[in-house]
Amino acid sequence: MLAPNKGQKHMAEQIDDGQKGYGASDIKVLEGLEAVRKRPAMYIGSTDGRGLHHLVYEVVDNSVDEALAGYCTRVDVVLTKDNSIRVIDNGRGIPTDIHPTQGIGTVELVMTVLHAGGKFGEGGYKVSAGLHGVGVSCVNALSSLLQVTVYRDGKEFYQTFHRGVPQGPGVFRGETDKQGTTIEFLPDSEIFTESVYNFDTLSARLRELAFLNKGLTVTIRDEREDERYHEFFFPGGISAFVEYMDANKKPLFEKPVHFERETQGLPLEIAFRYNDGYTESMFSFVNNVNTVDGGTHVVGFKSALTRAINNKAKELLGKAKKNDVELTGEDMREGLVAVISVKLHEPQFEGQTKHKLGNGEVKGIVETAAFELLTTFLEENPAVARKIVDKVYNAAVAREAARKARQLARRKSVLEGGGLPGKLADCSSRKPEECELYLVEGDSAGGSAKQGRDRNFQAILPLKGKILNVEKARMDKILANEEISTMAQAIGCGLGESDPEDGGGFRFEKLRYHKIIIMTDADVDGSHIQTLLLTFFCRYMRPLIDNGVLYLAQPPLYKIKAGKIEKYAFSEEEKEAILAEVGADRKGLYMQRYKGLGEMNPEQLAVTTMNPATRILKKVTMEDAVEADLIFTMLMGDEVEPRRKFIEENAHLVGELDV
Ligand code: 0RA
């Protein structure tokens, strides 16, 4: 448990306190920490839940660095009852001596000087430096209390900090046979707008770290209300990652292909496998950070894969006289699940969200190494090579069929320039920035929505029944599906396989509505349709999610009437609160549970779910591409239970409330 040391002083007092002997260098330290506190977002991205979780990743990164250096085998993360976080590792422990040139304890130095973290190690450098890579001193600056305990050389060393400022010098307090570092911190409520950690969010990231650092044991324990515990340990490393991602699909061959090599000072690790599906799942990491938008390492790998498989295909298909179609890179990646992980000293991150690797030299290095390794692998594993080539050939044939289907569709002007679908009740405004499109489940709800809308800016597209499960279909089928082509026409951007490298065939600039709102019943069927639509948007209209255009409507679950009072509840908690407010036992109380949109009349639907002044919308985000993709594949499989659970929780896809 965290408890401030008695008799220790706060920062302001210490600055004033001349007796403490704070010299120029201490003032500098305080200025550094003060800069972090003044502009926390500059250092950790934001001060919301995301920033809050970032603190944990920053501390854990230091332990992972110890593991990368070969000194640490275990990291334990504990969420304590008071919402502080304890990170325990069995590394070397931060040196506890007085630093030779800085004249203060090394622990204090690491904890108070920005970017000091790894510089003091022996030839050590920080590779796992997170996206922001700001170091543990930032965590310290943003914590109302931080305690470090170091177990090193048989002794236990302890020091505490308050908003970054040491509460006295560190002290040795007894002997120990343990080794390592324990850091416990309480995020400062003056800085953060949220204070509660999400077990699943932390757990997902820690699992990922365990995959990326094979042999490292990472655990997480929740000591708050519900005791929960996970232990992650993957001797197979990123091969196990591929298997995990691919768990709900049928693999083309059993063991993922796995390469590990260091070329020109660049450690490179690749694992991949093919499944019987049609989509591509590529997960790339730089210094353990997920590069959601790819970058030069991914480009290098893709082009190596294309060349190596192409060579093999020429040989095998030539023999079989099946060289009637041209194979493309996309064909090579149909049903591919791959993880690529590189480590480099000075990564340059690009793109809107800085999730894309920009270092030009990396492309060539990765391509050369991967091509060589792939070529050798395909030579040495003829059975697997044949399976891959057959799969790629089939993909090319299907792509050809899809192209023909698209041409046909174009001629019928279904996808482009052919006007709008008949089922669409469009709005009168032609300014996309003020227009909204409601995708409504079922014709009857569609009818109510049409009557309840503001036709100036709200358009309604009723969808009939379930849309095609795109996870299980190829492009030609998808194009031929009526509900999908109707949606594509209404939205106006066309369709494209989501490829972060080139954006696919999707043209965001043609978007006709800046809000696209999925409105389904609050029941199992509605949830299923919602998931199918999310899968579709994720795979084929991904920029809608990236640009924050896609929303989920939140129809109320209950209507509660008590005399003249009429209220709607959007959750069970809200229902309880309203019942408590009006008095649950009062006479004349009437409560209706809405099972579907159809049970509301147009006015009710308008007030509760459509009127911007009173409705609740949830914005769909790609907060965590890895988890999202996993969820999609998992949910689209045949397991019903995880799907139901996800839909209830909706945790990873649904972000901020936009009321
Ligand atoms: C500075 C130098 C050395 C290790 C560390 C810092 C270190 C920091 C953290 C933070 C969490 N766990 C940590 N483990 C180690 C090198 C130590 C040496 O050379 O013995």
Q: Report the CATH number that the domain containing residue 541 is assigned in CATH.
A: 3.40.50.670
Q: Both 224 and 300 in a single domain?
A: no
Asked if residue 639 is part of any domain, the answer here is yes
Residue whose Cα lies nearest atom 18 of ligand 1: it is 121
Q: Both 390 and 440 in a single domain?
A: no
CA dist 179 and 481 (Å) reads 61
Would you say 501 and 424 are in contact if contact means Cβ atoms under 8 Å apart? no
Query: Measured from the CA of 87, which atom of ligand 1 is nearest?
Result: 11
Q: Both 222 and 265 in a single domain?
A: no
Q: What is the mean pLDDT of each run of 10 residues along the chain (659 residues)?
A: 42 37 68 91 91 95 94 98 96 93 90 66 42 77 98 98 95 96 98 95 96 97 94 97 92 96 94 93 94 96 97 91 87 96 92 88 97 97 96 92 72 56 93 96 90 96 80 75 87 66 67 95 80 83 89 92 88 89 80 87 93 91 61 59 57 38
Asked if residue 322 is part of any domain, the answer here is yes
CA dist 611 and 556 (Å) reads 13
**90 Cβ inside 6 Å of ligand 1:** no
Quick one: DSSP state of residue 275? B
Total residue length of the chain: 659
**94 Cβ inside 6 Å of ligand 1:** yes
Q: Could you tell me the residue range of the domain that residue 38 belongs to?
A: 34-232
CA dist 280 and 274 (Å) reads 9
Report the number of distinct structural domains present in the chain: 3
Q: Both 102 and 181 in a single domain?
A: yes
CA dist 35 and 114 (Å) reads 10
Distance from first CA to last CA of the chain, Å, rounded? 38
Q: Both 209 and 288 in a single domain?
A: no
Q: Which of 188, 215, 232 is the last residue of a domain?
A: 232
Residue 430's pLDDT is: 93
CA dist 201 and 49 (Å) reads 10
Q: Both 83 and 102 in a single domain?
A: yes
CATH number at residue 38: 3.30.565.10
Task: Write down the residue that tokens 């769909």 correspond to.
Answer: 620
CA dist 538 and 542 (Å) reads 5
**110 Cβ inside 6 Å of ligand 1:** yes
Q: How many Cβ atoms from other residues are within 10 Å of residue 438's Cβ?
A: 26
Q: Both 159 and 249 in a single domain?
A: no
Asked if residue 22 is part of any domain, the answer here is no
Closest CA to 128 of 236, 235, 286, 291: 286
The encoded tokens of residue 46 equal 């934001």
Q: Which of 204, 232, 260 is the last residue of a domain?
A: 232
CA dist 359 and 390 (Å) reads 35
Asked if residue 389 is part of any domain, the answer here is yes
Residue 156's pLDDT is: 98
Residue 256: partners with Cβ closer than 8 Å, 6 or more residues away: 239, 242, 243, 271, 272, 273
Q: Both 208 and 294 in a single domain?
A: no
CA dist 116 and 164 (Å) reads 14
CA dist 459 and 306 (Å) reads 44
Closest CA to 396 of 476, 472, 338, 470: 476
Q: Which of 193, 215, 232 is the last residue of a domain?
A: 232
Residue 17: partners with Cβ closer than 8 Å, 6 or more residues away: 9
HEC string of 442-498?
Answer: CHHHHHHHHHHCCCCCEEEEEECCCCCCHHHCCHHHHHHCHHHHHHHHHHCCCCCCC
Asked if residue 113 is part of any domain, the answer here is yes
564 — phi, psi (to 5°)? -85, -15
Residue 496's pLDDT is: 66
Residue whose Cα lies nearest atom 4 of ligand 1: it is 94
Would you say 412 and 406 are in contact if contact means Cβ atoms under 8 Å apart? no
Asked if residue 408 is part of any domain, the answer here is no
**Which element (helix H / strand E) includes 96?**
none
CATH number at residue 346: 3.30.230.10
Residue whose Cα lies nearest atom 3 of ligand 1: it is 121
Residue whose Cα lies nearest atom 20 of ligand 1: it is 92
Encoded amino acid at 569, one letter: A
From 57, 65, 126, 140, the mutation candidate for ligand 1 (largest count of ligand atoms within 8 A of CB) is 65
DSSP reduced 3-state for 438: strand
**Which element (helix H / strand E) includes 292?**
none
Model's pTM, two decimal places? 0.72
Q: Both 497 and 626 in a single domain?
A: yes
The encoded tokens of residue 254 equal 């059993």
Query: Ligand 1: distance of its center to the CA of 174 in Å?
Result: 20
**68 Cβ inside 6 Å of ligand 1:** no
482 — phi, psi (to 5°)? -70, -45
Residue 332: partners with Cβ closer than 8 Å, 6 or more residues away: 305, 306, 309, 310, 392, 395
**218 Cβ inside 6 Å of ligand 1:** no
The encoded tokens of residue 41 equal 């977002």
**126 Cβ inside 6 Å of ligand 1:** no
Query: Ligand 1: distance of its center to the CA of 309 in Å?
Result: 44
Catalytic residues: 441, 521, 523, 525
Q: In what order do the strands lie in the sheet with 281-286?
A: 257-263, 266-274, 336-342, 281-286, 289-290
Q: Both 63 and 105 in a single domain?
A: yes
CA dist 157 and 166 (Å) reads 14
CA dist 478 and 468 (Å) reads 7
CA dist 158 and 76 (Å) reads 19
335 alpha-carbon distance from chain centroid: 21
Asked if residue 637 is part of any domain, the answer here is yes
Residue 659's pLDDT is: 31
Q: Both 156 and 197 in a single domain?
A: yes
Residue whose Cα lies nearest atom 5 of ligand 1: it is 94
**122 Cβ inside 6 Å of ligand 1:** yes
Q: How many Cβ atoms from other residues are within 10 Å of residue 573's Cβ?
A: 9
Would you say 553 and 570 are in contact if contact means Cβ atoms under 8 Å apart? no
Query: Ligand 1: distance of its center to the CA of 306 in Å?
Result: 42
Phi-psi region of 495 (alpha: psi -120 to 50; beta: other; left: phi over 0): beta
Residue 394: partners with Cβ closer than 8 Å, 6 or more residues away: none
Asked if residue 137 is part of any domain, the answer here is yes
CA dist 357 and 298 (Å) reads 9
Query: Ligand 1: distance of its center to the CA of 66 in Å?
Result: 7
Would you say 129 and 136 are in contact if contact means Cβ atoms under 8 Å apart? no
Q: Both 378 and 505 in a single domain?
A: no
